[in-house]
A and B are shown apart, each in its own frame.
Chain A
Amino acid sequence: MSTPESTSARAATPRGPWLILMNLLPDAWRTRVPEGMVENRPLLSLVSHVVLAIGIAIVALPLYVTFVASTQTAEQVLNAPMSLLPGTHLIDNYTAVLTHGAGEASAPVGRMMLNSLVTALIIAFGKIVISLLSAFAIVYFRFPFRGLAFWMIFVTLMLPVEVRILPTYKVVSDLHMINTYAGLTVPLIASATATFLFRQFFLTIPDELAEAARIDGAGPMRFFFDVVVPLSRPNIAALFVILFIYGWNQYLWPLLITTDEEMYTTVIGIKRMISGGDAATDWNLVMATAMLAMLPPALVVLLMQKWFVKGLVDSEK
């Protein structure tokens, strides 16, 4: 993939002498032809902003309605069409779901969020750690069956859990890992993508560093912890964002592995809340739960936006 580096590449694009001169003009003049724009077409600019605004409105509509519904009473939501102004039950609803859940067979959403958090963290860190280790072995050692090992990791790309649901479930159940955090996470921890990403990165680490370490008498693990891991920090951060979201948003696997409501993740909890049909569903509480389910991954994306974009692009290389 060569699409990346976008924003920085653009900033570095050399501009014509005319544009360099433009930079000397007072700010008020410069705004007429914004930098980087090929020509000034006010109408097209207006259309651009309008189209983008419509796009954002469509993207935001479900999120906004969800938020509004989560602040109303169950009756207000059922009374179609519901008001599109926030109600007054924000605190009531959120306290209710966090401590009691919604519906009869529901664990408190606080408990579910804890499950989701533990799952997402184990998956993200687990994938990063075992991928760092195996990429290090593949890049810095030559050993028999190295090619086979690499190939085996590669093939996992072609075996998503969706295509081997039943037999994988059987393995996990034979290992007595149903309704455990281990069962929720370990089968998802192998990662071809992360291994390739780290392999690509390790190949760019100058050989002089490894040579120097060897001359100084540092063993491979010392080199790994003192040089390789610190240098990989940006890649680790980028992967962490992507993998945290991946782990938090898991659906099919927890659906199979958790039968005990105490082990439900938030996403599964919501599915169970709405399975009773319209009349039995407290939509305001379901929507409050949905907001809570979206909040942690959204925060991770917003707070680590730079890493998020890097991670997305890197992991598709």
Chain B
Amino acid sequence: MASEKRVRFKSGWLPYALIFPQLLITIVFFFWPAGQALIQSLLVEDAFGASTEFVWFDNFRELFNDQNYLASFKVTAIFSVLVAGIGLTVSLVLAAFADRVLRGATFYKTLLIWPYAVAPAIAAVLWLFLFNPTLGILAHWMRGFGIAWNPLLDGDDALIMVVIAAVWKQISYNFLFFLAGLQSIPKSLIEAAAIDGAGPVKRFATIVFPLLSPTTFFLLVVNIVYAFFDTFGIIDASTSGGPAKATEILVYKVYADGFKGLDLGGSAAQSVILMAIVVTLTVVQFRYVERKVQY
């Protein structure tokens, strides 16, 4: 596909007028605040905002010496690996089976895409209710099996709960993309393998899964971005980062330190680090998209 038009309109001012609203919003609400965050990350301000001092990278140095921040990094890493790993595995299994059963595939698809419409914060409230140690139905069943369970007091339990809520919310999305990927694999390849005597498991391992790798990689990046940024609502509505910061992921810490703790410099430095992470992930994603066009 061409990336340029041969036929164009001529007007001195019109294109600027057309693009103006988008650029205005971009500058006022994206570039200006991002620039502010960059500047602020190099400053220290006293609690009353009366004096500010330029401190170079002290805020960053302080962050990386701060046990709480390093702990938050670790929580984020564990959280996103679990969310992406479990989410992709479960969705791939469901999609592989849904791809097999042509009869009723639409029916299953319709029932599985529901959670996409649910807000992360609402998903959190639903699972919080199910896992609530005093009145949750799941907590009750778990007690029946002799499992001690209290996500309001136990950090590991809380982390498990937010991971489940995050995975649940993201299953639909992964499922739809895996199903589309599976359905675009030429049937003739599968048939040829079947004629050569490869069973369903072997066909999946040697043909389907490798051919699906572009979809899998794409979803991996999307899920990591999701776990890093879009799960803010899940954390805030269910655990608020607790108990004892056990579920305080990086995005939540920026909010907690900046908005509740009023540590402007530290919060801004965290913002800058997060920006660097987003930029990296976006570059990885686009690199991959380009590779895939050739493929």
Contacts and interface: CB of A to CB of B under 8 A. Distances in A.
Contacts of A152: 23, 26-27, 31
Contact of B129 (A65, A255, A268): A65
Contacts of B114: 59-60, 63, 298, 301
A82 B116 contact: no
Contacts of A211: 7
B77 interface: no
B117 A297 contact: yes
A134 B25 CA distance: 12
B94 A51 contact: yes
B90 interface: yes
A240 interface: no
Nearest to B193: A38
B22 A171 contact: no
Interface in B111-136: 111-123, 125-130, 132, 134-136
A153 B5 contact: no
Nearest to A37: B102
B194 A141 contact: no
A295 to B, nearest CB: 9
A65 B127 CA distance: 10
B108 interface: yes
B103 A34 contact: yes
A222 to B, nearest CB: 10
Contact of B9 (A39, A157, A223, A250): A223
A16 B188 CA distance: 9
Interface string B244-273: 000000010011001100001001100100
From A166, A300, A302, A309, name the one whose CB has the most chain B CB atoms within 10 angstroms: A166
Contact of B34 (A13, A66, A167, A186): A167
A294 interface: yes
A48 interface: yes
A59 B112 contact: yes
A130 B22 contact: yes
A62 B268 contact: no
B287 interface: no
A3 B271 contact: no
Given A3-B215, A56-B108, A162-B229, A203 B2 contact: yes
A60 B113 CA distance: 11
Nearest to A241: B117
Nearest to A41: B200
A166 B37 contact: yes
B5 A163 contact: no
Contact of A49 (B7, B101, B222): B101
A84 interface: yes
A286 B16 contact: no
B232 A62 contact: no
B122 A293 contact: yes
Contacts, number: 342
B220 to A, nearest CB: 13
B275 to A, nearest CB: 5
Interface residues of A, number: 126
Interface string A276-317: 001000010011001001100110111001001100110011
A135 B3 CA distance: 13
Contact of A249 (B18, B120, B251): B120
Contacts of A186: 25, 29
A190 B25 contact: yes
A52 B97 contact: yes
Given A139-B5, A298-B117, 7 more contacts: A13-B187, A48-B98, A82-B135, A163-B278, A164-B37, A249-B119, A290-B125
15 contacts: A49-B101, A55-B93, A60-B111, A62-B123, A146-B15, A152-B27, A163-B278, A164-B33, A164-B36, A165-B271, A203-B1, A267-B119, A271-B121, A294-B117, A301-B116
Interface of B: 1-3, 5-11, 14-16, 18-19, 21-23, 25-34, 36-37, 40, 90, 93-94, 97-98, 100-104, 108, 110-123, 125-130, 132, 134-137, 140-141, 168, 171-173, 176-177, 179-181, 183-184, 186-187, 190-191, 194, 200, 214-215, 218, 222, 229, 232-233, 236-237, 251, 254-255, 258-259, 264, 267-268, 271, 274-275, 278-279, 282, 289, 292-293
Interface of A: 1-7, 9-10, 13, 15-16, 34-39, 41, 44-45, 47-49, 51-52, 55-56, 58-63, 65-66, 69, 77-78, 80-82, 84, 130-131, 133-134, 136-143, 146, 149, 152-153, 155-160, 162-172, 186-187, 189-191, 195, 200, 202-204, 207, 210-211, 214, 219-221, 223, 245, 248-252, 255-256, 267-268, 270-271, 274, 278, 283, 286-287, 290, 293-294, 297-298, 300-302, 305, 308-309, 312-313, 316-317
